[in-house]
Chain A
Amino acid sequence: MSENLSFEEAIRRLEQVVKELETGDLPLEQGLALFQEGVALTRHCTALLDGAEARIEQLLERDGDAVTAPFEPD
């Protein structure tokens, strides 16, 4: 599983994995691989939900380039 999966991609793949496990009578190795992938995907999704650190910034133009600076609403 790629670490760069977006939340949407991860959820979509997880849904697919669960469906396959639910419907198919898969050989042990295959079921095992799916199961492990599913566990990794749920971890990834939770990490995306928990991982982001709240940040509010503003874009300022400096010498034609855009730079970010912290922003505090008044």
Chain B
Amino acid sequence: MREGGGDRQLLTVLELTRYVKRMLDDDRLLQSVWVQGEISNFKWHHSGHIYFTLKDEYSQVKAVMFRSYANRLRFRPENGMQVIVQGNVTVYERDGVYQLYAAAMEPAGLGALHLEFEQLKRRLAAEGLFDEALKRPLPRLPRVVGLVTAPTGAAIRDMITVSRRRFPGVRLILAPALVQGPGAAESLVRGLRLLSRVPEVDVIIIGRGGGSLEDLWAFNDEGLARAIRACPVPVVSAVGHETDFTIADFAADLRAPTPSAAAELVVPSRSELQGVVDGLRIRLATAARRAVERKRVRLRSLAERPVLQRPQGRLLQDRQRLDDLARRLEYVGGSLLAARRRELGALAGRLEALSPLAVLARGYAIARTMEGQVVKEAAQVQPGDRINLLLHKGSLRCQVEEIGEDVGEATE
């Protein structure tokens, strides 16, 4: 800037305009404003840009919408139409006037809803209500599934059908609610609160079938979003169709694209879970069989030492017993892999009969000190000590007379 006389600054017109422009450009609010007004002086230039004036009773502002934005309009603006415009405000240097550079425009009725939605979403997001860290995992097998929706219509029917197909023994509790119109949001909140007081409800689905933006509006309620987060169990939202997003969807622990999809996500497939249990059951049997196998190998290597090759040795008997046990476990394990699901049901019982406890039934005893410690080596006790022998039926209290040098190790 040039120095004028005294303490005055003399500006050129361009300098003044640029100074004002920079002030406007630096203002955060003016970088993205929402303005409602009536369209006048509307011109659709052959370049594709739109020029118009936005006015209300008391004032007006010039507005421009460039071609790239104008191409995205989903309606035809006209003079006299009430609209909501979103854009930034800056100065048009040539004319020295400020203008609204529009990026989006909607008819005011619908636009107002849209604006309300965007603002609520932004506010709740800033508050942290939609944070990923708040999302809770769904239970693998819910005892009871709560539903908050209308008691009639496709949504409830679809959810029941899908739930029954996936898990025939499913338990559902419906909290009937209004899903559109006046009082719907309050009704949905009441349904959530009622269900969260039912002790066995482990997860809740809240939703409705498809409809217009206005039909789904109850799900864009701040109170409902907070009630979802305050719910003690995970909440799955299922509002409308795949493409509809509501505030409830952002607040929920999980968003399902439709009510049927919500039931798919929440209700486990019974056969899948049975498969998981069966898989673990097979691994359990195999692990038990291998554990016996390891002991058997150890026993055999001991038995093969020449000094132990006497028929009267207890060792030989032990080996036979263990071989027998292992053979039977192997048999069970082998048939397990081939067996079908129904046969697996009876398996746990059979395995139990073959468990090492059954060894006691064949004459083994487990020696324990009076403190309950298992006696594995003769050195653990002294002559005169009292020990407990656990038999198949009952137990014996004994006193140690003498410590022998028998091959006791192998009986472990």
Contacts and interface: CB of A to CB of B under 8 A. Distances in A.
Interface of A: 6-8, 11, 14-15, 17-18, 21-22, 25-29, 31-32, 35-36, 38-39, 42-43, 45-46, 48-61, 66, 68, 71, 73-74
Nearest to A37: B284
Contact of A42 (B141, B168, B194, B284): B284
B280 A11 contact: yes
Nearest to B366: A29
Nearest to B298: A25
A22 B140 contact: no
Interface residues on B, range: 35 or more
Contact of A35 (B157, B197, B276, B288): B288
User: Which interface residue of A25, A46, A61 has the most chain B CB atoms within 10 A?
Assistant: A46
Contacts of A39: 284, 348, 351-352, 355
Contacts of A53: 169, 171
A11 B351 contact: no
Contact of A31 (B170, B274, B277, B356): B356
Interface of B: 139-141, 143, 151-152, 156-157, 160, 164, 167-176, 191, 194-195, 197-198, 270, 273-274, 276-277, 280-281, 283-284, 287-288, 290-291, 294-295, 345, 348, 351-352, 355-357, 366, 374, 376, 412
B174 A52 contact: no
A31 B355 CA distance: 10
Contact of B277 (A25, A49, A55, A71): A49
Given A6-B139, A49-B277, 13 more contacts: A14-B284, A18-B284, A21-B287, A32-B356, A35-B284, A38-B284, A39-B284, A42-B281, A45-B273, A54-B171, A55-B172, A59-B194, A59-B195
B156 A73 contact: yes
B376 to A, nearest CB: 8
A43 B277 CA distance: 9
Contacts of A74: 152
Contacts of A73: 151-152, 156-157, 160
A55 to B, nearest CB: 5
B198 A54 contact: no
Contacts of A32: 355-357
Contacts of B194: 59, 61, 66
Nearest to A58: B174
A28 B277 CA distance: 25
B176 A58 contact: yes
Contact of A56 (B172, B294, B348): B172
B235 to A, nearest CB: 16
Contacts of B169: 49-54
B288 A21 contact: yes
Contacts of B175: 58-59
29 contacts: A11-B280, A14-B284, A15-B280, A18-B280, A21-B284, A21-B291, A22-B290, A25-B294, A27-B374, A29-B374, A31-B291, A35-B288, A35-B355, A36-B355, A38-B284, A39-B352, A39-B355, A42-B277, A49-B270, A51-B169, A52-B170, A53-B169, A54-B164, A56-B172, A56-B174, A57-B171, A59-B194, A66-B194, A71-B151
Contacts of B351: 35, 39
B161 to A, nearest CB: 9
A29 B288 CA distance: 12
B141 A36 contact: no
Kindly list the 8 A-B residue pairs having the minimum CB-CB distance in the complex, ordered from nearest: A7-B141, A21-B287, A52-B169, A38-B284, A58-B174, A22-B287, A45-B277, A32-B356
A22 B309 CA distance: 33
B412 A28 contact: yes
A17 B284 CA distance: 8
